[in-house]
Structure 1
Amino acid sequence: MFINAIASYLPEQIITNAYFEELNGLTDDWIIERTGIRERRKASAEENTHTMAIQAVDKLTANLPYDLSGIDLIVGATYTPHDCIFTLAHAVQHHINVGEIPVVTISSACSSLLNAVEIVQGYFALNKATKALIIASEHNTAYNNEDDTKAGHLWGDGAVALSISKERTSEADWEIKDVLTGGAANVGKASVSVTLKPLDRGIIMPFGKDVFINACTYMPKASLQVLERNGLTISDIKYIAPHQANLRISKNVAGTLGVSEDVMLSNIQYLGNTGCAGCAITLDENKGKFEKGDKIIVTVFGGGYSYGAMLVEI
């Protein structure tokens, strides 16, 4: 599989830590020390999960080496749906006006992007598709409870779009060498540590320590599994794009893997936790410094607990 193009969209509104200090007394230093977050983006009243995804797709089109009419599979990834029936993927299909193709939206917390990649992999393997569009979009602030002093300050909004083909379309394509995902809902406090109940209180994280411990366990574990089954070691990896949940998690993962923190691509400092879109947004942000032959690990962990890793070669 090959990534032909990638593009992201971020809302214009910036929410700094000063907002939360005024709201509930959480100081800038307190938030930065525990999360690394200084500011985050918030969608406007006119924006939602669908509109942000469509903005990302429109930006993607400019760099796509083929026409959108060639897309024969659309997979959306989100845990913050704008509509649970007219889903994210269907909204994008309506926008690009390509009909009678498989269209599905997946939700597996912050690992949804890599689950979407695996869905594409399956369609390709069964010869049911050849060119796919993946969109990850999170409207966290639509669900967030800002008064929650444990997690209300963590969340940001954003979207990313990736075109993926079964065969190489140009020399500029990035190759997806391998992807794996898994679930660890049987460990720790997976069933209650992070929840989003729209009819209750939105996103809450009452057991952040348990999330931290398991994220720091499963992200490096999945990364090493992908490396091992491809005959590689961590020294072969140029960059790691971790799930953007907490800067302390990224630093811990770097330590476990024995790599410099400079290897870890990060945007949580200025975007907050953008859910399943975050690691792909940082790929888009850093694509200008990638060089041919660079190998990149994308590693994710989400509530539930979901996890995964993907090996990409530029």
Structure 2
Amino acid sequence: MELYINAFAHYLPDDRVPNSYFKDVNGLDDEWIRTRTGISTRSKAGENENTNTMALEAVKRLNEKLPFPIEEVDLIVAATYSPHDTVATAAHMIQRHFKARAARCLTVSAACSSFINAMEIVEGYFAMNKATKAIVVASEHNTEYSNETCPQSGHLWGDGSVAIAISTMPEGEKAARILNIFTRGLGHIGKADTAVYLRPHHGGIGMPEGRDVFINACHYMIEGLNAVTNSQGIKLTDLKFIASHQANKRIMATVARQIDFPEDHMLSNIEEVGNTGCPSCAIALSQNLDRVDHGDLVALSVFGGGYSCGAVLLQFL
């Protein structure tokens, strides 16, 4: 069964927090942050925004591009590690707003790999003939949980969301065939159990083992890229763009160098919006769709705390 992404859309809050804000908060200045992370500003959700509202905003924009009525959607999969509500999830709120009565709804969490894991869940539902039109939405409200005073990671986080529509129909203004999806759990390696955490009321979100994350992210993001391209007999040099997890500009530069890939074709938005978590790779792609042409091969590659990794290979129609 062939699967296609029919449309992409993203939402980013208007507010930007500059590096200068953190000088008095955690002692880090602009040059230090930019040199080590590539971040200059980060997006921040407004007072009345949360993970669910941002997810809904992305789907509202997606609805304007859908080649089918949104009421026909029969599967909604949300992805997040920073939920607003663990019962009335983003998936359920989307179903309610758009009156998608026939939709199965669920939310998945695999840290920053969650978006790609959600895509793989859709692949499984389609293979079982339990769905035909799906929406995947990823949304993170990192600043709700972040501890800004933490000098290790308080300055990293941004907020945002992304949504895609998936069906068996090669329709849509910027449709793309999903050639392969790869995910892998990595809880057994390195400092997976302590490197990144999110514990509400017990320290919020933090990344105390940044070096371990850096080393493993560089290795396993490349492993994911190799997995999806090798499965199709494609070389990494055949890719037009790579949209990776936006955790650190140096990680992206290291991956590009190690696979001899042009760094300017590594799609990036971390400079403006920071680390927006699991939606980040797809937000970067959604922002750069005007650079993608017919026939282009584009890969998404991610590494998440816990640990986990994943990749997707797309060919645009």
TM tier, shorter chain? over 0.9
Q: Whole-Å Cα distance in 2 between the matches of residues 183 and 24 of structure 1?
A: 33
Equivalent position of 1:175 in the other structure: 177
Q: Whole-Å Cα distance in 2 between the matches of residues 258 and 288 of structure 1?
A: 24
Q: Would the alpha carbon gap of residues 108 and 53 (structure 1) be closer, same or farther in structure 2, given more than 3 Å must change?
A: same
Q: Whole-Å Cα distance in 2 between the matches of residues 264 and 300 of structure 1?
A: 13
Equivalent position of 1:27 in the other structure: 29
Equivalent position of 1:209 in the other structure: 211
TM-score calculated relative to the size of structure 2: 0.97
Q: Whole-Å Cα distance in 1 between the matches of residues 151 and 177 of structure 2?
A: 41
User: Deviation at 1:265?
Assistant: 0.3
Q: Whole-Å Cα distance in 1 between the matches of residues 167 and 202 of structure 2?
A: 40
| Moved segments of 4+, more than 4 Å | none
SS of structure 1 residue aligned to 2:280 = helix
The match for 1:148 among 141, 150, 154 is 150
Equivalent position of 1:165 in the other structure: 167
Equivalent position of 1:61 in the other structure: 63
Equivalent position of 1:109 in the other structure: 111
Tell me, yes or no, if the aligned pair for 2:162 and 2:279 is still in contact at 8 Å.
yes
Q: Whole-Å Cα distance in 2 between the matches of residues 135 and 172 of structure 1?
A: 17
Equivalent position of 1:188 in the other structure: 190
* Mapped pair 1:256 → 2:258: yes
Deviations 1:210-267 (A, max 9, x none): 0000000100111011111110101210000010000000001111111111120000
Q: Would the alpha carbon gap of residues 84 and 202 (structure 1) be closer, same or farther in structure 2, given more than 3 Å must change?
A: same
Tell me, yes or no, if the aligned pair for 2:7 and 2:172 is still in contact at 8 Å.
no
RMSD: 0.9
* Aligned residue pair count: 314
Tell me, yes or no, if the aligned pair for 1:130 and 1:167 is still in contact at 8 Å.
no
Q: Whole-Å Cα distance in 2 between the matches of residues 172 and 53 of structure 1?
A: 21
Q: Whole-Å Cα distance in 1 between the matches of residues 58 and 169 of structure 2?
A: 23
Letter in 1 for 2:58: A
Letter in 1 for 2:156: L
Identical-residue share of aligned pairs (%) = 50
Which segment drifts farther, 166-175 or 271-280?
Answer: 166-175
Tell me, yes or no, if the aligned pair for 1:240 and 1:264 is still in contact at 8 Å.
yes
Equivalent position of 2:242 in the other structure: 240
Q: Whole-Å Cα distance in 2 between the matches of residues 152 and 208 of structure 1?
A: 12
Tell me, yes or no, if the aligned pair for 2:132 and 2:167 is still in contact at 8 Å.
yes
The gaps in structure 2 that reach 5 residues or longer are none
User: Deviation at 1:170?
Assistant: 4.5
Q: Whole-Å Cα distance in 1 between the matches of residues 103 and 295 of structure 2?
A: 34
TM-score calculated relative to the size of structure 1: 0.98
Letter in 2 for 1:221: E
Show the 5 A alignment for 1:295-310.
295-310=297-312
User: Deviation at 1:171?
Assistant: 7.0
The gaps in structure 1 that reach 5 residues or longer are none
Q: Whole-Å Cα distance in 2 between the matches of residues 215 and 246 of structure 1?
A: 10
Show the 5 A alignment for 1:275-294.
275-294=277-296
User: Deviation at 1:172?
Assistant: 4.1
SS of structure 2 residue aligned to 1:284 = helix
